[in-house]
């Protein structure tokens, strides 16, 4: 009765959380959106008027902060200190500030510990940037999802429209490129494909096709 870990990494808006949720449901695994944790810290730091680059202040705040998830369809609900922040953490202001928080080594150390604790509970699909390289380096299944910048910007655009957020496509493209660059060049656990991860390019694939492809990969490994 061994616990299976599926590490799902990749750049911004590559469709990780959408497929991670579906794959988790299909296999009966829990799902953990680690990006939501970095977003939650960013939101609370901004609300608490803590300078996002002040590592010791952010880490001190984080140690006093509870971040929790509640399963839900179609979205997983996210709570900080008991307050729901599911939608608040998707606001453009948070999206464009989160890489600063994610570059702080002390924040990463604390969140990685919490993520490993979550993964101890059950078989899991965990999505993020450093799951296969740092959080769960021994995960039997590692997938690296990519897609062209234009495709990712268009997906984000449609998602935003559904929420009534109007950001021009060109601006979204720029924001995605900036975030990828920050995430890939930071000193601590930058976004990189683990050497044993399988790359899946979702540019011209439907969500269903990606889920099928990942299902095949998991079934081959377990």
Numbered residues of the known binding site for ATP:
10-18
Among 5, 18, 76, 99, binds ligand C5P (CB under 6 A): 99
Is there binding between residue 10 and ligand C5P (CB under 6 A)?
A: no
Is residue 9 within 8 A of residue 128, CB to CB? The reply is: yes
Strands 77-80 and 83-84: antiparallel
Among 5, 152, 179, 218, binds ligand C5P (CB under 6 A): 179
Stretch that binds ligand C5P, among 126-134, 143-151, 152-160, 164-172 (CB under 6 A): 126-134
Rg (CA), the chain: 16
Toward ligand C5P, which CB reaches closer, 102 or 211?
Answer: 102
Among 29, 62, 104, 130, binds ligand C5P (CB under 6 A): 130
Is there binding between residue 129 and ligand C5P (CB under 6 A)?
A: yes
Alpha-carbon separation of residue 83 from 65, 68, 79, 88, 107 (angstroms): 11, 10, 5, 11, 21
Q: Which residues contact 66 (CB under 8 A, 6 or more apart)?
A: 79, 80, 81, 82
Stretch that binds ligand C5P, among 18-26, 32-40, 162-170, 210-218 (CB under 6 A): 32-40
Is residue 126 within 8 A of residue 8, CB to CB? The reply is: yes
The continuous run of DSSP H or E covering 18 comes out as helix 16-27
Among 18, 34, 76, 133, binds ligand C5P (CB under 6 A): 34
Footprint of ligand C5P (CB under 6 A): 12, 34-35, 38-39, 98-99, 102, 128-131, 179, 183
């Amino acid at each position: 009765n061994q616990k299976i870990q599926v590490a799902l990494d990749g750049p911004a808006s590559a469709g990780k959380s959408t497929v991670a949720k579906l794959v988790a449901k299909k296999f009966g695994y829990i799902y953990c959106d680690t990006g939501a944790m970095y977003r939650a810290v960013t939101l609370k730091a901004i609300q608490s008027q803590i300078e996002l680059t002040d590592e010791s202040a952010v880490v001190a705040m984080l140690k006093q902060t509870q971040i929790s998830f509640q399963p839900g369809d179609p979205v997983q609900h996210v709570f900080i200190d008991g307050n729901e922040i599911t939608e608040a953490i998707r606001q453009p202001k948070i999206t464009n500030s989160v890489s600063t928080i994610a570059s702080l080594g002390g924040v990463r150390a604390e969140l990685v510990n919490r993520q490993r604790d979550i993964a101890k509970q059950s078989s899991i699909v965990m999505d993020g940037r450093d799951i296969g390289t740092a959080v769960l380096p021994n995960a039997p299944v590692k997938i690296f999802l990519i897609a062209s910048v234009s495709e990712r910007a268009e997906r984000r655009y449609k998602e935003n429209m559904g929420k009534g957020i109007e950001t021009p496509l060109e601006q979204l493209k720029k924001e995605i490129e900036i975030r990828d660059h920050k995430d890939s060049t930071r000193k601590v656990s930058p976004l990189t494909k683990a050497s044993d991860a399988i790359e899946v390019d979702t540019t011209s694939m439907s969500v269903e096709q990606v889920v099928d492809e990942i299902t095949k990969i998991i079934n081959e490994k377990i």
